[in-house]
Chain A
Amino acid sequence: MLGKIKTITVREYKATVKTKTFLISMIIVPIFMFAGLIVMKLFGDSVDTTDKNISVIDRSGIVAESLVRIAEERNKDEVYETKDNGELKKIKPKYIFNIIAPDDENPDKQRYQLSEKVRNKEIFSFVEIGKNVLHPKNASSDESDFSNVIRYYAEGAALDDIRIWVGNPLNNEIRKLRMKEAGIDPGQVTELMQWVTVNGMGLYSVDPYTGEYIEAKESSEGEAIFAPLIMMMIMFILSLLGAQPLLNSTMEEKSQKISEVILGSCSTFDFMMGKILGGVGASLSAALVYVGGGVIALKYMDRSDLIPLDLIPWFFAYATLLITMMGAIMAALGSTCSTAKEAQSLAFPGMLPMIIPMAIWIMIVREPMSNFSTIASLIPPLTPMLMLLRQSTPYHIPAWQTWTGLFGVIIFTLFTVWASARIFRIGILSSGKAPKIGTIIKWVFRND
């Protein structure tokens, strides 16, 4: 039996790795990955240096001039960089604030007119300073009363750097004014007002061999978001390379009647397992290239500290289980189809264990210890991608969760293989139109 599985595995493996898709993926995917990182690095600091004209409606009448003044100082100090040859290079846009008189009779009309100016690119954005920003308590409790806030209007306000920048000088000015009112000389409290940066750090650890303390590393955005994403993306690509092709290859073997010839030599289980293991083998070959290539590249770049050595065994364990699970699902679904169109229609539901993690990964990365993240990562079909994602974040995931997740995936993978074998056994010899999902599920539990 094992010999037959091996024979089918070897054929499936060779057939998969010889396909153009696989070969291209082996070359293109790392190129895209590294090119993406290089592009991000190259253009990460690149900004639009076009000057930004911003209108200011100051209903308080006390802070706008200060904003204009601080902006002018910024424009003078921060916008240009002196190159080695002495030339000035513009590295940031100028913020040019233009104070306009508030229309108290019809404020909405004024806001609309300014919005139209933004749309027509006459100005970049406008700021509206509420009349009660100095004394927010004077504002009514009515939710529609915005007199104690500063509102920033722009086409992309949420991600706009100006919105973030504006808050600082305005708040400083407001605080100074409040201190003046309280009889405190702002000049004397400069140190009190000094902003202290909070650096995001990882955690200290102890070297198990020397007992020395290992200093915590500064945690970067890249480490917190991109490292987990890369791990998950590699796993997604591996599934696409090894498991997804089983849908079409099984369908083709069925429609071209190759399956019946093979079933004349082995059982349906041998046939299916051989195919799955061939897919797993192809995926793991790609994984070795990707991971090995990544490790070599990081060592070459003298960034061995970025290699998540502790995660690599987990990565291979989860990748093997995910591809086995996905391969079984794809082979079973492929066995029920006779045409490429039918196979295509089943591809989406079959790929849900890969698609769902891709849809929710950002929530998991932001809050890897939340209940949602914990529960989602313990749902067996989602565990390989989501648990690994959580483990790739700087947070420490409790051991019971990782081991429970792994155990759950093993059990679920075995169940998937068993259920798929039952579907495969009926599907591979069936003819006519592809059955509905409900019928396929019935095949799993059919008593025969």
Chain B
Amino acid sequence: MENTIEIKNVTKKFGDFTAVNDLTLNVPKGSIYGFIGPNGSGKTTTLRMLMNIIYQDSGDIHIFGEKYKQSFKDRIGYLPEERGLYKSMKVRELLHFFGKLKNGKNILAEADKWLKKLDLYNWRDEKVETLSKGMGQKIQFIASVVTSPELIILDEPFSGLDPVNRDVMKDAVLELKESGTTVIFSTHDMDIAEKMCDYVFMIYKGKKVLDGTLDSIKNNYGTDIIKIMSEGGLQVLKEVQNEIKGIENINDFGHIQEIRIEKTCNPQNILRSLIEKTAVSRFEISQPSLHDIFVRIAKPVVENDGEVKNAG
């Protein structure tokens, strides 16, 4: 499979702080690659290095099969984490400016197409300062795709959007993938990452801790989650936890509880114990969600100062 991005043993330090530590990562062409990780873990630093805005201290980054060239910036769309638009410019004028900066062709026609698609066409001649935050974010997204780049890097594109606009943005990203564009986006929304990404990469304290397809990641974690709905609820579940060894964690959602079990623990014993005590309406053994995996890795109680097991 052809890779759009190849990162090899890349390290970036800011003074004594290692933001990215010996990172190796391949992004296949035409895929959607999700970057996840807690705040300050190194996602934005990695994305900025991909954009050549900051430079790695060591290691190699190849894009489109070659070492980085300044001209690659014209082939990459970039939506930074914090949106930056000239407030006094008009929407179309602004999109034209950003498009020209990437040596784009038919910029205004493309801009109009995207403005219509994202329901902003009527705002095309308004100044940016008159737009709402969500509108501004969509304009910033259009600015990153208006030149039809081959690779798009989106740093948290869904943050701050209402559900309707999230869906609009999600559809836009999927449409880009359909057209053959490689998409990388970082997100804190595990649900979005799980549903949209072909591959997920997690960085924690500068180190890669997950990398692969969602299935491969989940398979590494096994089927150790049980979702339970019972009349007795949390109270009864705590009694069962005292009786049966191997229930590591109970996550209470009110109407439903999720437990995580050790590999040696037999779910049938848990079910039997529950039935003896209360009426059980749901007992579902499943793989952990991406959210579960994220929390397991990123919880501050992680052993050995972040030296967590790489599931990927």
Contacts and interface: CB of A to CB of B under 8 A. Distances in A.
A260 to B, nearest CB: 4
A266 B78 CA distance: 12
A257 B80 contact: yes
Contacts of A3: 100, 103
Contact of A263 (B51, B74, B103, B144): B51
Contact of A260 (B80, B88, B103): B80
Which 9 pairs between the two chains have the least Cβ-Cβ distance?
A264-B78, A257-B84, A258-B84, A265-B101, A257-B82, A260-B80, A261-B84, A7-B100, A263-B53
B76 interface: yes
A253 interface: yes
28 contacts: A1-B70, A4-B103, A7-B97, A15-B86, A15-B88, A256-B84, A256-B85, A256-B87, A257-B82, A257-B84, A258-B84, A258-B85, A260-B53, A261-B78, A261-B83, A261-B143, A262-B84, A262-B101, A263-B51, A264-B80, A265-B74, A265-B101, A266-B70, A267-B70, A429-B48, A429-B53, A429-B54, A448-B55
Nearest to A1: B70
Contacts of A262: 84, 101
Interface string B88-101: 10000000011011
A261 B97 contact: no
Contact of A259 (B83, B84, B101): B84
Contacts of B54: 429
Interface in A372-387: none
B73 interface: yes
A260 B144 CA distance: 12
A266 B73 contact: yes
Interface string A226-269: 00000000000000000000000000010011111111111100
A256 B83 CA distance: 8
- Interface size range on A against B: 20 to 34
B73 A261 contact: no
A262 B101 CA distance: 8
B186 interface: no
A264 B77 CA distance: 8
Contacts of B101: 4, 7-8, 262, 265-266
Interface string A151-191: 00000000000000000000000000000000000000000
A11 interface: yes
Contacts of B46: none
A253 B84 CA distance: 8
Contact of A264 (B73, B85, B87, B100): B73
B98 A265 contact: yes
B43 interface: no
A258 B78 CA distance: 12
B230 interface: no
Contacts of B85: 256, 258, 261
Contacts, number: 63
Contacts of A8: 101
- Interface size range on B against A: 20 to 34
User: Which secondary structure characterizes the binding site on chain A?
Assistant: helix
Nearest to B143: A261
Contacts of A265: 73-74, 78, 98, 101-102
A265 B146 CA distance: 13
A261 B87 CA distance: 14
Given A1-B70, A3-B103, A7-B101, A264 B86 contact: no
Interface of A: 1, 3-4, 7-8, 11, 15, 253, 256-267, 429, 448
B140 interface: yes
B283 to A, nearest CB: 49
A256 B143 CA distance: 16
A264 B103 contact: no
Contacts of B140: 261
A8 to B, nearest CB: 7
Max count, chain B CB within 10 A of own CB: residue among A1, A7, A261, A263: A261
A94 B98 CA distance: 74
A265 B75 CA distance: 9
A253 B82 CA distance: 12
A257 B97 contact: no
Contacts of A260: 48, 53, 80, 82, 84
A428 to B, nearest CB: 9
A11 B99 CA distance: 13
A137 to B, nearest CB: 79
Interface in B28-67: 48, 51, 53-55
Nearest to A7: B100
Contact of A11 (B76, B80, B97): B97
Nearest to B147: A265
A379 B88 CA distance: 40
A341 B76 CA distance: 36
Interface in B75-133: 76, 78, 80, 82-88, 97-98, 100-103
B88 A261 contact: no
Contacts of A257: 80, 82-84
Nearest to B144: A264
B182 to A, nearest CB: 16
A261 B101 CA distance: 10
B12 to A, nearest CB: 12
B59 to A, nearest CB: 15
A107 B86 CA distance: 75
Max count, chain A CB within 10 A of own CB: residue among B88, B97, B144: B97
Given A15-B88, A266-B73, A267-B70, A261 B51 contact: no
